[in-house]
Structure 1
Amino acid sequence: MLIYLAKNIILLHPWCAVVFNLISRAIFSLFTSFFICLWIAPSVISCLQKISCDQVIRSNGPQAHFQKRGTPTMGGIIILIAILASVLLWVKICNAYVYCVLFALVSYGAIGFIDDYRKIVHKNTIGLPPFWKYTFQSVIAIAMSTIMYIIGKDTFSTALVIPFVKHVIPQMGILYILLTYIVIVGTSNAANITDGLDGLAIMLIVLITSGLALVALATGNIRYATYLHIPYLSCASELFVVGTSICGAGLGFLWFNTYPAQIFMGDVGSLALGAALGVIAILLCQELLLMLMGGVFVIETISVILQVGSFKLRGRRLFRMAPLHHHYELQGFPEPRIVVRLWIISLMLVLFGLTSLQVR
């Protein structure tokens, strides 16, 4: 929005063009979303406490979590407001990629809001029935996948970049729809599963998003894209600004979500941010890179699948509790130690993922 308002100013004062270039807008976007979070979070926390929007604690969860009773949830609303405001201020609104990410963010945020609301009203951890939850997620993901496939068919937009492999960028064909569906729904639910310790999921999202934002910067620049042997997508550069906005909002929320948390993100935040992360990776043709950078999400999700599968088939559990971070809690590891170590692992994976582009 500010880009269009600034056009006349730039004509009168050419030095102002520096302020509105891509890098500057990305930095301003980060600070904007960060300070919006700091500004509105105290009021939102107070409001949620007054209307008793408290996190429902699992009765069979770690005993230490019962100390968190009374902590408000649905804090993802703060993140979404900050991201939407920052993005609408600093990106070029005519960019289709931006609309794709915002649509995923809002639509999955709505699903998460309904889920959180039902948990609070019914005072249990069930929320939205799994059948309807996955149905709504699937309908949105399939609709987005189909539209993106029709628009980008047989172009770089529907290709797949393979980390560490040069000059091989296969076209996915109709399989693009299936891959896109799995990435959007899978990443959304993986973020939701991982959101079980104070500050864990939000910082992982910040780290992965920052890595993908750098990839977006390279993908939207023909020189960088050619050098790295990745598809050049002219619209991708605006995803750099979207990415920094998500990072800023995430860091702003972490200010209140770090241990001991003053507010929880809830499904409204985790489902929305996970879906947005998946869509960004898809638009950049970096679905496999997302799996590499988001290795902690992958491991946490696999731990749940293995736990459920083992119990149903063998009647035995592989872990003391799933997802994996609860297993370590029950082994006696302090929550902050688990969180920080998973942050470190995620940072290493993000850096390793960026390196994979360089050595292709």
Structure 2
Amino acid sequence: MLYLLYQFSDQLGALNVFRYLTFRTGGAVMTALLVAFVFGPRIIRWLRSRQSNGQPIRADGPESHLLTKQGTPTMGGVMILLGVAVATLLWADLSNGYVWAVLLVTLGYGGLGFADDFLKVTRRHHAGLPGSSKLIGQFAIALIAGVWIVSLGDPAESTGLAFPFLKDLLLDLGWFYVAFAALVMVGASNAVNLTDGLDGLAIVPVIIAAAVFTLIAYLVGNAVFSNYLQIHHVPGTGELAVFCGALIGAGIGFLWFNAPPAMVFMGDTGSLAMGGALGAVSVVTKHEFVLAIVGGLFVLETVSVIVQVASFKLTGKRVFRMAPLHHHFEKKGWAEPTIVIRFWIIAMILALIGLSTLKLR
């Protein structure tokens, strides 16, 4: 919306700054942060008034959670979605189809998460939407977004799959790429959801991944930089830097209230939406495999669940004391802040490795 102000720069030269992605990305960060700070306390008060007992705590989870997390409201992801939506609509070029496709996934997954959280709270049970229903909804949204993204790109490259460290290879999957793209979005969404189990654990790695993809979106959308780095240029993806900036700002604002001890949990409303957003941005920028590196912490948490379930079904034995992985370390006696901060460090290291793929080709 504000992007259009540059058209009046001949009358007021200062308005020319609205042309620049860097300026608008910074504006999106600050706007989303401000929205979270202003509306966050009100949202938390509203959630508390509607959730007398807070988020239902699993009886089979770590025993300490029954004492430390009982009564904390959930669905705080509403705060994140509000910040992202307002900042993106305010600062992005709304004629860009990629912006709308990514917003579709973010808000669509946020809606699914909201329904899931609502059922948990009203039923006073940790089970919300049936898993099959949630997956069907996620894949439906992702497939629509996948077709949309492919239709916006160059027909010669839009269904191609790029690989990190390889500058020329673009494997054309045809329309199977849409199914692959949907799998990336759904997988990323559920991976973040599994990681969201301790105060501040999921939000900081999401902020770190969003920061990496802010840079990736900017570079991929710039013909000069993409040619210099020998990465595949996708015209129009630069506007997703503004979206990622909004995600960073909203995430930082939410962290203010989610820092231990958390005043609010993001719930599936936030975790499904943020994971889906990162997955959608990686698909548009053709850096799906880089997301697996940058978001390696989310992958690790997901793999720990898969290994635990497979091992128990096949052998009757558990590999970990509890899954996802962060609960394993809780069971080993690690303090919650220790687990959270060490996982943040891992996320930062993986982000640096992911960024290295931009040059090592």
Counterpart check, 1:31 vs 2:30: yes
CA shift at 1:164, angstroms?
Answer: 1.3
CA shift at 1:13, angstroms?
Answer: 1.8
CA shift at 1:166, angstroms?
Answer: 2.3
Q: Taking every aligned residue pair, what percent have the same amino acid on both sides?
A: 42
TM-score by length of 2: 0.97
Cα distance per residue 1:127-155 (max 9 Å; x no partner)? 00111111111222222223433554743
CA shift at 1:228, angstroms?
Answer: 1.2
Separation in 2, partners of 1:174, 1:326: 39
State the one-letter code of the partner of 1:86.
A
| Partner residue, 1:48 | 47
State the one-letter code of the partner of 2:157.
F
Further displaced range: 11-20 or 198-207: 11-20
| Partner residue, 1:312 | 313
State the one-letter code of the partner of 1:262.
M
Q: Does the aligned pair in 2 maintain the 1:158–1:285 contact within 8 Å?
A: no
| Partner residue, 1:88 | 89
CA shift at 1:75, angstroms?
Answer: 0.2
Q: Does the aligned pair in 2 maintain the 1:219–1:233 contact within 8 Å?
A: yes
Aligned length: 359
| Partner residue, 2:252 | 251
Separation in 2, partners of 1:167, 1:129: 43
CA shift at 1:3, angstroms?
Answer: 1.8
Q: Does the aligned pair in 2 maintain the 1:204–1:346 contact within 8 Å?
A: yes
Counterpart check, 1:7 vs 2:7: yes
Unaligned regions of 5+ residues in structure 1, if any?
none
| Partner residue, 1:62 | 62
Paired residue secondary structure (2:198): coil
Give the CA RMSD over aligned residues: 1.3
State the one-letter code of the partner of 1:65.
H
CA shift at 1:312, angstroms?
Answer: 0.9
Q: Does the aligned pair in 2 maintain the 1:157–1:284 contact within 8 Å?
A: no
| Partner residue, 1:125 | 126
Separation in 1, partners of 2:238, 2:145: 20
Separation in 2, partners of 1:240, 1:45: 29
Further displaced range: 46-55 or 317-326: 46-55
Tell me: CA distance 1:28–1:157, structure 2 relative to 1, closer, same or farther (3 Å).
Answer: same
Separation in 1, partners of 2:101, 2:85: 13
CA shift at 1:16, angstroms?
Answer: 2.7
Matching of residues 256-275 of structure 1 within 5 Å: 256-275=257-276
Matching of residues 94-133 of structure 1 within 5 Å: 94-133=95-134
CA shift at 1:314, angstroms?
Answer: 0.8
Cα distance per residue 1:162-211 (max 9 Å; x no partner)? 11122222222233122112101100000100000101111111101110
| Partner residue, 2:355 | 354
CA shift at 1:305, angstroms?
Answer: 0.6
Q: Does the aligned pair in 2 maintain the 1:199–1:257 contact within 8 Å?
A: yes
State the one-letter code of the partner of 2:269.
V
CA shift at 1:5, angstroms?
Answer: 4.0
Further displaced range: 53-62 or 106-115: 53-62
Paired residue secondary structure (1:94): coil
| Partner residue, 1:238 | 239
Paired residue secondary structure (2:43): helix
TM-score by length of 1: 0.97
